[in-house]
Structure 1
Amino acid sequence: MILVVLGIAIFFFGLLFSIAWHELGHLATAKMFGVKVTQYMVGFGRTLFSRRGRETEYGVKAVPFGGYIRMIGMFPPKRDEDYGRTASSAPWRAMVEDARQAVAEEVRPEDSHRQFYQRSPWKRIIVMAAGPFMNLILAVGIFASVLMGYGVAEPTTTVGAVSECVVPANAPDTRECPPGAPKSPAAQAGLRPGDEIVAFEGQPVRSWESLRRDIRDSSGTVSMVVERGGERITLTPNLMQSTQPKLGNSDGYVKVGFLGIAPTSVLVQQSVGDVVDRIGELIGMTAQKVVELPSEVPDLIGAIAGQEREQDSPVGIVGASRLGGQVLSYDEASVSARLIMMVQLLAGVNLSLFLINMLPLLPLDGGHIAGALWESIRRKFARLVRRPDPGPFDTAKLMPLAYGVSLVFIAYSLLVLVADIVNPVTLS
């Protein structure tokens, strides 16, 4: 129990660091381009601690579900031609003007030249992209360090475990053989942990993956050569047909040849090329999960109602911290392996933060980036056709949409939070 609590605490503070690291990217680039930043906060709500620098207040707030920096002049002032518009959409217009006025009140006369909207679009893109890219840098740094320094467990052709009996892959998980279960072909043939399989059906065995495919594609009596204690022994197991998961990313089960062995694994440090490939795969997988977030709503509601929750279900800061506690308390792995699993879990969270924040929706960073890109395109087009400069893109007009997106994210976060509390994801 102590390890669980310690793991939760370590992972929780790791998430807070990730949030602070994200906001540091915004802070550093905003100051670099001369934008005045009045606040740098980790969390929302009531301030627990703060310290004021020369012009920026640094602090921690009570609700640790994000963070922010406050830059002056996020919205441009209203243009002269906008004052004469009708009030046909008065409620939305009032919302826009309230947001614009709140921003304008933060600007002192001496700081009028240090507003965010006054910076060129490419500078604003850098400021808004710096936060998500800090998360990406942290994720890539962690994954690269683990893959190149610690290594990846890769299966060998040496037997690590021998199944005593045969049960379908979709049977209830149990360590004991159920009554009436047939003895596994490996156990019948006399295979032992530590045997190195050197040949299968007269062909040399070069990798575990090739051996596994050969076993699945075979049936009946086969010939195997193993090396045991420096001596080569020929065994003739009689393979059975068993229901096993399909290989690759395919769902479902299939009848295949079954021997009943598991390999040992060794840690293999990866090359730079391998790291690039693996991180690319991780980014692609995470992006797919981000796209699938809306489709997870029924499963989350079902999990709250008591249905089984999938292991790849979305989790929030509470669920992720609980997973960190489970990893640290997993006594079947070494301490170093548990710590590696924790930091990789934290890297995965940072990868998700990068991708979610890059979505082109206000109030996310990607929404501000999209607005700056559109402004740049609009200005270049105006110069091309010799029209007057249209001026800054008025993101204030998108505030009703931003509020709507915020409500959706808040509702989704609350749904995940409830699911994390009443039916948390557990690691197998």
Structure 2
Amino acid sequence: MYILGAILAFSVLVIVHELGHFTLAKLNGVKVEEFSLGMGPKLFGIKGKETEYLIKALPIGGYVRMLGEEEKVSDARAFSSKSPVQKLSIIAAGPLMNFILAILMFAFIGSIRGFALPVVDTVDKDKPAYSAGIQNGDKIIMVNNKKIKTWDDFFTEVYLANGSTMNIKLLRNGETKSIDVTPVKDTVENRYIVGIRPVLLEKPSFGQSVSYGFTQTKTIIGQTFSVLKTLFTGKASAGDIGGPITIIKVSTKAAEQGIIPLMAFAAYLSVQLAIFNIIPFPALDGGWIFLLLFEIITRKKLDDNKVGVLNYIGFAILMALMVVVVIKDILYPIKL
């Protein structure tokens, strides 16, 4: 039951993403030939007026196939016949919808259960924050010269510090204080802590909830790029990255805890899906965006057939990587 809930949650993210492409394609007069949820062998489909709606065997993504997307077609309704700006709006709509969905979901979650503020509620005695002089009511505004907008921003900086001394700027009674704190390892939770607990805003207003949705999404975007940076600099291992099986496992655990935790994880995944898709790699939305921006800036028309071949190659590489990640998930699963 919980696994079905996890698969359903991920499917919603894919549907919303592809619905963005589908809607903008229709608005720009492009013929959509297929709208697929899932990849691989076809399970079943429904033929509409001009679009076939499919459900496929592998719940690892989806796609919208448009006329003239992979090669030049002499048809006014072909994707290849549209202007670079029109094409860009169609391609960018997918990731944009995932960002919007995340904002709305986080806003809803915040309105239901409240959220933590980057303001100190209590300070644990005999912990680094207490020794450094941090007090109840202090507002954390910056850590290591990085602005802090949410409690998760602060939590992330503690994680990235990895036990190194942090410079924390606080707002106390209208005055800015600068304090150095060195996190210590919590043996119970197996992570670094400084020993403070945040203020919880239990009943936020509509505006505060929406603002939380925006800031939380922005925070996760920043966290994601920070993790990618540690991965490329060798500070993190590729073994810490999970694939579809890991996603389902984590989603299932979230579903076991209730609808709100599952929704929170789905919102997090929605941001990840958007970021993954804007990577400038062939076959991904980001690859298209890069090429279309090149066309717009240089005003040089790219060969549609060559772009199609490039996307075929990119898709093949992505599928190969997906197989590798799935095998890794099976043989070397991440401990949850």
Q: Does 1:284 align with 2:222?
A: yes
For 1:288 and 1:354, how far apart are their aligned partners in 2?
A: 16
Aligned-partner residue type, residue 202 of structure 2: V
For 2:163 and 2:9, how far apart are their aligned partners in 1?
A: 36
Q: Give the corresponding residue for 2:82.
A: 119
For 1:291 and 1:247, how far apart are their aligned partners in 2?
A: 16
Q: Give the corresponding residue for 1:251.
A: 162
Q: Give the corresponding residue for 1:19.
A: 14
Q: Give the corresponding residue for 1:360.
A: 280
Q: Conserved in 1, the CA contact under 8 Å of 2:116 and 2:198?
A: no
Deviations for 1:112-134, whole angstroms, at most 9, x for unmatched residues?
22111111111111101111111
Deviations for 1:15-52, whole angstroms, at most 9, x for unmatched residues?
11211221111111111111111111111222111111
Aligned-partner residue type, residue 249 of structure 1: L
Q: Conserved in 2, the CA contact under 8 Å of 1:360 and 1:368?
A: yes
Q: Give the corresponding residue for 1:326.
A: 253
Aligned residues: 283
Q: Does 1:30 align with 2:25?
A: yes
Alignment RMSD: 3.5
Q: Conserved in 2, the CA contact under 8 Å of 1:374 and 1:393?
A: no
For 2:279 and 2:118, how far apart are their aligned partners in 1?
A: 38
| Structure 1, gaps ≥5 residues long | 1-5, 78-103, 157-205, 219-245, 304-312, 331-337, 380-389
For 1:321 and 1:284, how far apart are their aligned partners in 2?
A: 24
For 1:255 and 1:122, how far apart are their aligned partners in 2?
A: 49
Q: Does 1:315 align with 2:242?
A: yes
For 1:247 and 1:131, how far apart are their aligned partners in 2?
A: 33
Deviations for 1:96-123, whole angstroms, at most 9, x for unmatched residues?
xxxxxxxx5xx7xxxx221111111111
Q: Give the corresponding residue for 1:349.
A: 269
Pair 1:60–1:155, CA change in 2 (3 A): same
For 1:255 and 1:76, how far apart are their aligned partners in 2?
A: 56
For 2:281 and 2:183, how far apart are their aligned partners in 1?
A: 46
Q: Give the corresponding residue for 2:328.
A: 419
For 1:265 and 1:418, how far apart are their aligned partners in 2?
A: 43
| Structure 2, gaps ≥5 residues long | 134-156, 165-181, 189-194
For 1:52 and 1:282, how far apart are their aligned partners in 2?
A: 38
Pair 1:370–1:21, CA change in 2 (3 A): same
For 1:68 and 1:117, how far apart are their aligned partners in 2?
A: 17
For 1:45 and 1:343, how far apart are their aligned partners in 2?
A: 27
For 2:100 and 2:215, how far apart are their aligned partners in 1?
A: 16
Aligned-partner residue type, residue 33 of structure 2: T
Pair 1:155–1:114, CA change in 2 (3 A): closer
TM-score by length of 1: 0.58
Aligned-partner residue type, residue 222 of structure 2: G
For 2:213 and 2:21, how far apart are their aligned partners in 1?
A: 28
Deviations for 1:247-272, whole angstroms, at most 9, x for unmatched residues?
4631137687x9x9997985634525
Deviations for 1:50-108, whole angstroms, at most 9, x for unmatched residues?
1111111111011222111111112564xxxxxxxxxxxxxxxxxxxxxxxxxx5xx7x
Aligned-partner residue type, residue 76 of structure 2: H
Q: Give the corresponding residue for 2:294.
A: 374
Q: Does 1:128 align with 2:128?
A: no
For 1:9 and 1:416, how far apart are their aligned partners in 2?
A: 22
Matches for 1:179-198 after TM superposition, within 5 Å: none
Matches for 1:142-161 after TM superposition, within 5 Å: 142-153=105-116
Provide the secondary structure at the position in 1 that maps to 2:289: helix
For 1:283 and 1:295, how far apart are their aligned partners in 2?
A: 18
Q: Conserved in 1, the CA contact under 8 Å of 2:45 and 2:54?
A: yes
For 1:403 and 1:289, how far apart are their aligned partners in 2?
A: 29
Pair 1:136–1:364, CA change in 2 (3 A): same
Provide the secondary structure at the position in 1 that maps to 2:306: helix
For 1:328 and 1:115, how far apart are their aligned partners in 2?
A: 42
Q: Give the corresponding residue for 2:140.
A: none
Aligned-partner residue type, residue 148 of structure 1: S
Q: Give the corresponding residue for 2:49.
A: 54
Deviations for 1:329-361, whole angstroms, at most 9, x for unmatched residues?
45xxxxxxx432211111111101111111222
Please, which of 32, 36, 41 is the counterpart of residue 41 of structure 1?
36
After TM superposition, give the deviation of residue 419 of structure 1 in Å. 2.9
After TM superposition, give the deviation of residue 398 of structure 1 in Å. 3.8
Pair 1:262–1:251, CA change in 2 (3 A): closer
Provide the secondary structure at the position in 2 that maps to 1:67: strand
TM-score by length of 2: 0.72
Runs of 4+ deviating beyond 4 Å: 153-156, 209-214, 253-256, 260-267, 272-275, 290-296
For 1:346 and 1:322, how far apart are their aligned partners in 2?
A: 13
After TM superposition, give the deviation of residue 424 of structure 1 in Å. 2.9
Q: Give the corresponding residue for 2:305.
A: 396
Q: Give the corresponding residue for 1:242.
A: none
